Amino acid sequence: MFKITYFYFLLLLIFCTISIGASRKDLFTDPRERMVTTQIIARGIKDPRVIKAMRKVPRHLFVPEKIRGSAYDDRPLPIGEGQTISQPYIVAFMSEVLDLSSRDRVLEIGTGSGYQAAILAEIVRQVYTIEIRPGLGETARERLKEMGYRNIFVKIGDGYKGWPEKAPFNAVIVTCAPEKIPRPLIDQLTEGGRMIIPVGEERGIQELILLRKEKGMIIKKAVMSVVFVPMIKEEEIMVR
């Protein structure tokens, strides 16, 4: 009798363990894993911290509900107000080339959905991010807070000017394209600091530029041709 009861107890225990394990996986775990293997690792991203972050952050929670099914597709997606969340590979590539360390403080220009900020926050100490469109900035701030990110600080304003009160930054990432590299952003880099920024005209050819500040000198290198939404000025918000 005792043996049979024990057997059923054991069976129940195994069943419970399996269900707890399964509940930790959600509908999006498999597509996310597939995204990491086929779009990120297969294309040469090697930094284990970037790969770990891409595996962890639930990208589907950063896109509008009706397009969640496409969240892990190999492309940018609309996030409202004519703006886009970058393609997963671009997010990973820009994070990797910044050569980040866990002690770094990073400035992002163009919060958008907050996805890139979340990826960075998994890797570095603090992320400061600026969004010029109040609607997008407030939604992202709320979303990141709900997700438990305590090391991301969202400001609504013109990122061209950077965030001088919080400078200097070990790295700057710009996710909208200005026609020229904003001087204030270079000034707000630490010695040895890195910046990744798409530069070029709207609807023209844009180059992703990797910049490094070394002994006061600026070393620049074009690393990829890209298409980003333009960096706008405050007075342009109403007309666009």
Task: State which residue, 78 or 192, has the beta carbon closest to ligand SAH.
Answer: 78
Q: Which residues are catalytic?
A: 86
| Interface with ligand SAH, residue 208, by CB under 6 A | no
**What are the residues whose beta carbons fall under 8 Å from the beta carbon of 114, sequence distance 6 or more?**
62, 129, 140, 141, 143, 144, 152, 154
- Residue from 113, 139, 188, 206 touching ligand SAH (CB under 6 A): that is 113
Considering the complex, what minimum distance in angstroms separates the CB of residue 47 from ligand SAH?
18
Considering the complex, what minimum distance in angstroms separates the CB of residue 8 from ligand SAH?
50
The CA-based diameter of the chain, rounded to the nearest angstrom, is 81
Bridge partners for 199 per DSSP: 207
Buried (b) or exposed (e) across 20-45, using 16+ Cβ within 10 A?
A: eeeeeeeebeebbeebbeebbeeeeb
| Interface with ligand SAH, residue 85, by CB under 6 A | yes
Question: What is the C-alpha R_g of the chain?
Answer: 21
| Interface with ligand SAH, residue 96, by CB under 6 A | no
Considering the complex, what minimum distance in angstroms separates the CB of residue 219 from ligand SAH?
25
Q: Which helix (H) or strand (E) holds 51?
A: helix 48-56
Binding interface with ligand SAH (CB under 6 A): 79, 83-86, 109-110, 112-113, 115-116, 130-133, 136, 158-160, 175-176, 229, 231-232
